[in-house]
Amino acid sequence: MPLRTNRFMPYLHPICKPLPLVCLLCMLLLCSGVCQAQVQPQDTTRQDTLPQDTIRQTFNERMIQNLKQMSERKTIMGKLLKALLDFERDEEEVYGLDAELIQKEYELHNYKIVRHIDILSLDPFGYSISDTSRAPRNFFEKAGNSLHVKTGRGEVRNKLLFRKMEPLEPLALVESERLLRQTRHILDARIIVNEETTTNDSVDVFVITRDIFSLGGSGSYSPSSGRGRITLRELNFLGQGHQIEGTYKFNLNRPRPWEAAAFYSIENIGRTYISADLAYVDENYYKEKSFYLYRDFYTLNTKYAGAVGISRIDERIILPAAPEDTAARYGNVGYAQQDVWLGRTLKPKTYILGYEPRGRFILGARVINTKYNTIPTENFQDNVLMLGSVGYSIRKYYKDRFIFGFGRTEDIPVGTLFSVTGGYQDGAIWDRHYLGSSLSFARYAPSFGYLYSRVGYGSFLRDDQWEQGVLDVEAMYITRLAEWGNWKLRHYLLGRGTFGINRYPEELLSINNESGVRGFRSDMVRGTRRASFNYEANLYTPLSLVGFRLATFVYADLAWLSFGNQSSPFKEKPYSSFGLGFRLRNEFMSFSTIQVTLSYYPQLPPNTSMRGVRLYESSAPFYDFRNFQFDRPGVADFH
């Protein structure tokens, strides 16, 4: 289970003096992107005489030149722009994004003996994975690298799926490159076959990786209330891939004025791809102590996966509100849990040498033992849940940029995943059966974009009555990347529906933040059925602020809630939010994305502390890829 960093990145309220100027700059960038899209098609004369690329580049240069001239003025705005903006940043040329072509080239080397493996690990600043002759040029790049502990060659070698003096298995090269790139402390990776020294029966392989600056963190402080948060993290302790993170909050308006959390993770212990996670959380309304050892189906050829873990959790949950309630009611629940699961993949037979079918059959079994020490209602009982599942998965990966990152290579999972899960819960008071199923698929093409869809259902059966059921549907579409010179634009559309069936009264859905409406917070707005729609347009600019790349965005969120098995969320008036903002991120560092959003909420719940217009900072992502990696058998989520 990954580090739970999002839990300690709440929405904050810091407002600094230059913030209005930066917001004004962001709105200018947004308007310029729209104006560019509108003005260029109308200039038919220039389209007849000049290539389209020339027009776009001319606009691009004119926009940058105008900002550059503003920065040279001896005014407050000019000095601010000159201090913040970097006009000399060159876009690094990226090779190897055609994953399909690379895979076909690598297929020529299947089952050849790996003769040599050369590994080059690069520091984060001033180097290029595409041009290994590039080196740091200024004091800041050299100083940053001197403070960084570079990933050791042994750590890189442990991630490789091929070994020296052994046959090269199909997909080993492309999958090794993907695994390196998905490592949190590595920015990018390339694996290259030396075609000049390759023979009919052997190959030489060159591995290049580039680190991020692994020491980082985040923080916030509100002068009006004195509240603050400090987060520190090290993603590559001593260059060995160990991850450490700690968070401390202070001056909180809660029963106890402080909260703390710590996480420690070790990846790929002893080249077994077994990882370990240790978590300690001490908040006012949530406490956790947990330890897990786990091994995922990290590649197509992984035969066994599983996990074993123990946890102790105490938390406060929201109870159903009575008609006369004007404030949310809460209850406490505490439990200890032991969790064990094991999975096995079965590969379809093939008689074609060198051909690796991507489809896999997966069998899984899981046992969860839960014992409660505190219960808020009689619906909680000590129990042992036994689950078994069978599934079929087809997955592959494409490569692209500027989807969720700011220029780094991103692996895009596509494929199909179908699973059926059954189980039995042996409870202290009652017993019941479980049945669930899910189907998901995704498609991608550079000229089309990315499309993902999923539908899932799960429910318990007790005394011939279905209970705690949920129907979950989701669809996400990301458009292809539109480019005007160095300006890049994508649109994101996400629709989700969660429909509870005979849920317990204390099981309620919210629309807070990632659950529906970003920036929204209310404990009174709850329901058992929810539908939401989210739209975002993200404009990546060529501007860089003290090393952090700038992107601006506009968004619109809609969410509906209702109660009851027969209710329709769409009959209720939706809650909504509209806004704009900007994001700053340095891909070479482990600092969180800095996001500032100005939002408008047309409808607010009664007795709430929110305002119709809100300015807040966030570092939590709203969108993400859905992987087609088979996971442990489980009960359908209702959250």
Per-domain residue ranges for the chain? Answer: 99-211, 396-618
| pLDDT above 80 (res 322) | no
The pLDDT value recorded for residue 25 is 45
The pLDDT value recorded for residue 48 is 41
Structure-derived torsion over alpha carbons of residues 233, 235, 236, 237, reported in degrees to the nearest 10? 30
| pLDDT above 50 (res 98) | yes
Q: Residue 326: which of 550, 522, 120, 101 has the closest Cα?
A: 522
Neighbours of 6 (CB within 10 A): 14
Q: Residue 125: which of 113, 107, 143, 110 has the closest Cα?
A: 143
The better pLDDT of the pair 564, 46 is held by: 564
| pLDDT above 80 (res 517) | yes
The better pLDDT of the pair 253, 39 is held by: 253
The better pLDDT of the pair 423, 80 is held by: 423
Q: How confident is the model at residue 369 (pLDDT cuts 50, 70, 90)?
A: very high
Considering Cα of 22, then 23, then 29, then 31, what sign does the dihedral take? negative
Q: How confident is the model at residue 85 (pLDDT cuts 50, 70, 90)?
A: low
Residue 12 DSSP class:
B
Task: Tell the burial category of 399 from Cβ atoms under 10 Å away from its Cβ (0-12, 13-18, 19+).
Answer: buried
CB 572 within 8 A of CB 526: no
Cβ-Cβ contacts under 8 Å for 499 (sequence gap 6 or more): 470, 471, 472, 529, 530
The pLDDT value recorded for residue 80 is 61
CB 582 within 8 A of CB 22: yes
Least confident of 111-115, 317-321, 489-493: 317-321
Q: How confident is the model at residue 86 (pLDDT cuts 50, 70, 90)?
A: low
Cβ-Cβ contacts under 8 Å for 110 (sequence gap 6 or more): 168, 169, 170, 354
Q: What are phi and psi of 92, to 5 degrees?
A: -70, 130
As a whole number of angstroms, the distance between CA 46 and CA 32 comes to 19
The pLDDT value recorded for residue 64 is 62
Q: Which CATH superfamily is domain 99-211 in?
A: membrane protein fhac (3.10.20.310)
The pLDDT value recorded for residue 67 is 67
Q: How confident is the model at residue 81 (pLDDT cuts 50, 70, 90)?
A: low
pTM of full prediction above 0.95: no
The pLDDT value recorded for residue 99 is 60
Please give the share of the chain, as a percent, with pLDDT higher than 90.
43
The better pLDDT of the pair 608, 297 is held by: 297
The pLDDT value recorded for residue 619 is 62
| pLDDT above 50 (res 41) | no
As a whole number of angstroms, the distance between CA 290 and CA 132 comes to 43
The pLDDT value recorded for residue 18 is 39
The pLDDT value recorded for residue 611 is 76
- Range of 50-59, 292-301, 619-628 with top mean pLDDT: 292-301
Arithmetic mean of pLDDT, 591-614: 81
| pLDDT above 80 (res 7) | no
As a whole number of angstroms, the distance between CA 275 and CA 6 comes to 20
- Range of 38-42, 298-302, 329-333 with top mean pLDDT: 329-333
The residue type found at 584 is: L
- Range of 45-49, 106-110, 229-233 with top mean pLDDT: 229-233
As a whole number of angstroms, the distance between CA 12 and CA 331 comes to 26
Token pair recorded at residue 578: 């509209």
Mean pLDDT of the chain, nearest integer? 82
| pLDDT above 80 (res 443) | yes
The pLDDT value recorded for residue 84 is 52
Token pair recorded at residue 20: 């209005």
| pLDDT above 90 (res 577) | yes
| pLDDT above 90 (res 37) | no
CB 609 within 8 A of CB 622: no
As a whole number of angstroms, the distance between CA 492 and CA 563 comes to 29
The pLDDT value recorded for residue 4 is 37
Arithmetic mean of pLDDT, 226-242: 88
As a whole number of angstroms, the distance between CA 517 and CA 557 comes to 5
As a whole number of angstroms, the distance between CA 492 and CA 595 comes to 17
Q: What are phi and psi of 27, to 5 degrees?
A: -65, -35
The pLDDT value recorded for residue 49 is 40
